C-alpha cells in the first residue's frame, strides 16, 4: 500500500512540472516581492512580457498623499510618463514597484518617504517625509 501511494505521488509529481509553472507564475504575479518602504497591490492583471531593469516604458499614473490630496496625474495631461526602469530617472519606489509589470496591468504603490522624496519633499507640492500613493498603469514597453 505504501508503494502504491508513493507511486501515485511520484506520477503526480512527474505530471505537474508543466502545470506548476503557470500556477506559480500566477501566484508570483499576485504577490509582488516585498521591499522595505514599498507596498505593491496588483489592481488588474496585464499580458505579455514583464518589465525589467533597462526597459523603456510608458506609464499612466495618479499620485496622492495619504490624506487623499492629488499632487500629480499623467491622466490629466493625456500623456503617460516615459522613462527607463532602474536608471534613477524616477523615485526609487517606482524603479522597484514597477518591475515585473505587464502591459495593461494596474498597480497601487504605497511608497514610504525613504523611497520617495524623503526629507526634502518636492517643492510646495509634496511635503517633507510624505508617504506617497500612486495608482499606475503600464501602457507600453518600448
Catalytic residue status for 134:
yes
Active-site annotation holder among 57, 83, 117, 126: 117
Query: Which position among 57, 61, 95, 126 bears the catalytic label?
Result: 61
Of 54, 73, 58, 35, the residue nearest 105 (C-alpha): 58
Exactly one of 91, 95, 111, 126 is catalytic; which is it?
A: 91
Q: Is 2 a catalytic residue?
A: no
Q: How many CB atoms lie within 10 A of CB 105?
A: 21
Given 72, 112, 133, 141, which residue is catalytic? 72
Q: What is the CA radius of gyration of the chain?
A: 20
Q: Does the annotation count 117 as an active-site position? A: yes
Catalytic residue among 57, 83, 95, 134: 134
Distance CA 60, CA 90 (A): 14
Per the structure block, which three cell numbers stand in for 133? Answer: 500613493
61 given a catalytic annotation: yes
CA–CA dist 16, 78 (Å, integer): 46
The catalytic residue among 71, 112, 133, 141 is: 71
Q: Is the dihedral of CA 36, 72, 74, 86 positive or negative?
A: negative
**What's the CA gap between 100 and 9, in Å, rounded?**
33
**Active site residues per annotation:** 61, 71-72, 91, 117, 134
Amino acid at each position: 500500500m505504501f508503494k502504491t501511494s508513493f507511486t501515485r505521488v511520484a506520477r503526480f509529481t512527474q505530471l505537474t512540472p508543466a502545470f506548476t509553472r503557470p500556477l506559480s507564475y500566477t501566484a508570483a504575479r499576485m504577490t509582488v516581492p516585498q521591499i522595505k518602504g514599498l507596498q505593491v497591490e496588483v489592481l488588474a492583471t496585464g499580458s505579455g512580457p514583464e518589465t525589467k531593469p533597462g526597459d523603456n516604458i510608458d506609464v499612466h499614473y495618479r499620485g496622492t498623499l495619504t490624506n487623499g490630496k492629488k499632487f500629480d496625474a499623467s491622466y490629466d495631461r493625456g500623456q503617460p510618463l516615459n522613462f527607463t526602469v532602474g536608471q534613477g530617472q524616477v523615485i526609487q519606489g517606482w524603479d522597484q514597484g514597477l518591475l515585473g509589470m505587464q502591459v495593461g496591468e494596474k498597480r497601487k504603490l504605497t511608497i514610504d518617504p525613504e523611497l520617495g522624496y524623503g526629507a526634502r519633499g518636492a517643492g510646495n507640492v509634496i511635503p517633507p517625509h510624505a508617504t506617497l500613493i500612486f495608482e499606475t498603469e503600464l501602457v507600453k514597453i518600448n
